[in-house]
Amino acid sequence: MSAPLAERLRPKNIDEYIGQEHLVGKNGVFRKFFETGNVPSFILWGPPGVGKTSLAKLVSATLERPFYTLSAVTSGVKEVREVIENAKRQHLFERQTPFLFIDEIHRFNKSQQDSLLGAVEQGIVTLIGATTENPSFEVISPLLSRCQVYILNPMDDSDLQRLLDRALTTDTELKKRDIEVRETAALFKFAGGDARKLLNILDILVGATDGKITIDDKYVTDCLQQNIALYDKNGEQHYDVISAFIKSVRGSDPDAAIYYLARMLAGGEEPRFIARRLVILASEDIGLANPNALLLANACFDTVHKIGMPEARITLAETTIYLATSPKSNSAYAAINEALRFVQNDTTNRPIPLHLRNAPTKLMSEAGYGKGYKYAHDFEGSFVEQEFMPETLKGKRFYKPDASNQSEAKIAERMARLWGDKKR
């Protein structure tokens, strides 16, 4: 039985690599790695199927350096230490530092990542990590500070077309078949910028029938509907399911939210990925309608980190139901977005009012810095009316309380009581 198409088409040199021109193009940093041989530890961050593993292997093969690989899904501290010991022994006989490639490095916990630090610091290995998650959140600071982070982008349609052409013209198995491509819209839509997914779909299309194959949008759609489990190896359409989960919580449907949570967990989704989304939801969609939501979401995030699965499912479920059934407001989200749009498009360097400026020196004090500022706590109710906006922005409002929920109705009432028409 032949290997899957995605494995057969794995690039053997940098010229066969498709996509990520900003990294592998003429002036790309990886071209410089190959020219100089100087490669720092680095992390490749991007969605699935965009060439992270292929790029890591190309670096090692091109520079002819030993290549150790670990999967963060199946490896623990013991396996990490064994690989490092092997690398140490090899380093005694080889002048070149071996590469240690860790796929899905975001799944390593703190102790596992700590076990890598010494080897990276001492130059025993050059670490290459691959992750679909933001390394700022998932990789410990001491390790992250020793690595460059390179972002890989989803493949666009032109990249997918090049990959499709390459598959049809160079793969020995596909060349044996009579394949005509009439339409690619559905093919590229289902691939979703994922090269591996495109090739897996092509495998399914070719295996679905004998004789001539005519690829058009209808054939692709019909074929994938019949073979959905094969199309999506994990039984989950990652981005579609998380989108449905978020929208169900936002839409106050706890049953749908729990259903999509169960699908993600059953499909092997990383619990911390879900917990992070709940923290974002608590701020973006619930916000000031129920500030306790963010506290619970943060507690959930910490708990999931501490206990892991299977117990983490309970904490995730509790938080999901709480957020889904909570009143909703995106007023804070809307306020900061409106303020950022204003600031980014504002070409005026608006001076800070003098009475709001600090006066740490005598000269500043004499220039009027801080003069006339009223200290709120010196007044009844810790409030006194004064202007805080720059002179040219008097009356400008960004935050508009959503009075349809009880919590912000109270905020709106208080603002009206303190500021009158100025904050209506």
Domain ranges of the chain: 20-151, 157-231, 238-325, 340-423
Residue ranges, the chain, pLDDT below 70: 1-2, 91-94, 226-239, 423-424
Please tell me the class of the 238-325 domain. mainly alpha
- Distance between CA 407 and CA 288 in Å, rounded? 7
What's the pLDDT score for residue 128? 94
Q: Tens of pLDDT along 233-282? A: 444 456 678 888 999 999 999 999 999 999 888 877 888 889 999 999 99
pTM, two decimals, is: 0.58
- Distance between CA 170 and CA 153 in Å, rounded? 25
What's the pLDDT score for residue 91? 67
CATH of domain 20-151: 3.40.50.300
Q: Tens of pLDDT along 85-119? A: 888 887 666 677 889 999 888 888 788 888 888 88
What's the pLDDT score for residue 246? 93
What's the pLDDT score for residue 227? 58
- Distance between CA 271 and CA 268 in Å, rounded? 8
* Average pLDDT value for the chain: 86
> What's the CATH fold of domain 157-231?
Helicase, Ruva Protein; domain 3 (1.10.8)
Per DSSP (E only), the strands in 47-111 are 67-71, 99-103
User: 3-class DSSP state for residue 44?
Assistant: strand
∠ Cα 170 174 175 (to 5°): 65
Residue 130 has phi, psi (to 5 degrees) of -125, 135
Q: In one letter, which amino acid is 182?
A: R
Torsion 318-324-326-329 (CA) sign: positive
Residue whose tokens read 């989200």? 333
What's the pLDDT score for residue 43? 94
What's the pLDDT score for residue 94? 66
